[in-house]
Structure 1
């Protein structure tokens, strides 16, 4: 049963709130999972290739776990426009990272891929989730997930990764995102993926301008209200930069504000680059919602109280 509604927040009626990811169990009725980002690419959106080397990627993943990440999202191919990455090359990038992180931790691991060949090997190496930015358009990818115990993230986007959509247009971006996600969830189920292994993501900034991403943030409850754990990937994105007129490395505070808005709108997974800061923000929100006890109680708790 979901906890009672807290003023100022939306509690989605999740169909399957308790999820098992390998040895970890997450109750999304009482917990917001923090997903860290590790991209083993030379042209990563945020770090520009800082974690392209294998050991740098593994170290970044384990550092994120140390800083409080529940989940590490490992990718080997950017979404941004550019040449396609061959399945063999993408596999060579992500597989050893997944293997080494899995050997060192029980953290939830997702493979950020839309290629069936990569997904199959990633799951065999220890990935618990396939994070598909194409929204599960590929039947073969659905078959790989269906044949495993892995979860899948179904993300809204208008175009295939590595391609551009000039001036994306929506009559009502939230309504159209909701319609797409509903259809793709139905497609996933029809292709053999159980509903209790489906997660959804409205895809902030993916083929959307800043006004679209702001509308999604403001009306996040309409998306989380579909009943599936919903992911908000807002970290350091262009819509944050355009609001604040700041470069990527200076968008932490804005990203945290957007993430908290999404949590209060029902988001249950937050994908963030700055793990320690995001962990603190999530802990405060969970405590305010009554899901988490403070680390200690000292202020005004003794015989001699402070002002």
Structure 2
């Protein structure tokens, strides 16, 4: 259980990385643009770091449908933000973008991870990350970002998502990225119904056994809200429960809005389980293949 980011190797056997969501969008689904202004953005970043974030995930365009955001607009939102963060904080910086030019310029400004929900649709994306010796998140999506997918149909949900992710891992390796520099994310709510997202969550152990750091992005997602009848402002406990259960099942990176709560959950689990036990549990999981 390792993640390689350039010259750094992070041992995730008995610990987890908390990735704080840090939007520079006026229309994000959860914070509704609360941190779009640059000063507010920096204050939020400082708060997330103090609360225990290992990674700050900067996004300039929301994943769902909305007003068009040009490449130049995204660059203006993201690159100065990354540069400011890299000068202020000693944490990993990730950029949530599917555009090759945005990730290239963000990496030059101090980012180290490309979080691409499109499945590397932009041909130059992986080359840019490999050249900068960064790391990537490969996320499953059925169509493409910003496009409604109201009736997603799969003949074999788990198998299709696995195949998609492993194909993206291969793409990353062929571009020159080390295998352990690729994280995988099943993409809850991205071209999935609530039932499909729940089925993918239930299969967390299967995805953890694939041998790549598994990132879970369930925080305040619609599938949690719809399952429990909770509105967007009432999903904190459900989100933390998802973190705890998925960590026990092998996930090690959590993209979240509530950094403080998530930090406490993952640190508690790490304290409860001896490092040797975590390692043995993972070996036992691997032996089931």
Equivalent in the alignment of 1:100: 84
Structure 2 equivalent of residue 278 of structure 1: 262
Decide whether the 8 Å contact of 1:83 with 1:162 is kept in 2: no
Q: Determine helix, strand or coil for the equivalent of 2:121.
A: coil
The CA deviation string for residues 255-304 of structure 1, in whole angstroms up to 9 with x for no partner, is 11111111112111011101111111111111122249xxxxxxxxxxxx
Conservation of the 8 A alpha-carbon contact between 2:15 and 2:267:
no
**Alignment match, 2:38:** 54
Query: How far, CA to CA, are the matches of 2:3 and 2:115 in structure 1?
Result: 19
**2:61 matched residue in structure 1:** 77
Which residue in 1 is equivalent to 2:209?
Answer: 225
1:39 aligns with one of 16, 23, 41: 23
Give 3-state SS (helix, strand or coil) of 1:139's partner.
coil
Question: What is the deviation of 1:217?
Answer: 1.1
In structure 2, the residue matched to 1:190 is 174
Corresponding position of 2:4:
19
**TM-score, with structure 1 as normaliser:** 0.86
Q: Paired residue for 1:244?
A: 228
Q: What is the CA-CA distance between 1:25 and the residue it aligns to?
A: 4.7
Alignment of 1:97-136 (within 5 A): 97-136=81-120
8 Å CA contact 2:5–2:133 kept in 1: the answer is no
Q: TM-score, normalised by structure 2?
A: 0.92
Q: Which structure is higher in helix share?
A: 2
Residue 21 of structure 1, CA deviation = 5.9
SS at match of 1:250: coil
In 2, the alpha carbon distance for the partners of 1:138 and 1:97 equals: 22
Larger Rg: 1
Q: 3-state DSSP class of the match of 2:20?
A: strand
Superposition misfits of 4+ residues, deviation over 6 angstroms: none
Measured in 2, the distance between the counterparts of 1:65 and 1:25 equals: 21
- 1:166 and 1:49 mapped to 2: Cα distance? 25
Contact 2:4 2:135 in 1 (8 A): no
CA–CA distance in structure 2, aligned partners of residues 88 and 127 of structure 1: 18
- Stretches of structure 2 lacking an aligned partner (at least 5 in a row): 277-289
| 1:30 has 2:17 as partner | no
- The C-alpha deviation readout for 1:194-237, integer Å capped at 9, x for no partner, is 21311111111111111111111111011111101010000000
Residues 104 and 211 (structure 1), Cα distance of their counterparts in 2 relative to 1, 3 Å cut: same
Structure 1, unmatched stretches of 5+, are 1-13, 293-307
CA contact (8 A) 1:109 1:126 kept: yes
CA root-mean-square deviation? 1.5
Count the aligned residue pairs: 276
Contact kept? 2:180, 2:213, Cα under 8 Å = no
Q: d(CA) in 1 for partners of 2:168 and 2:109?
A: 26
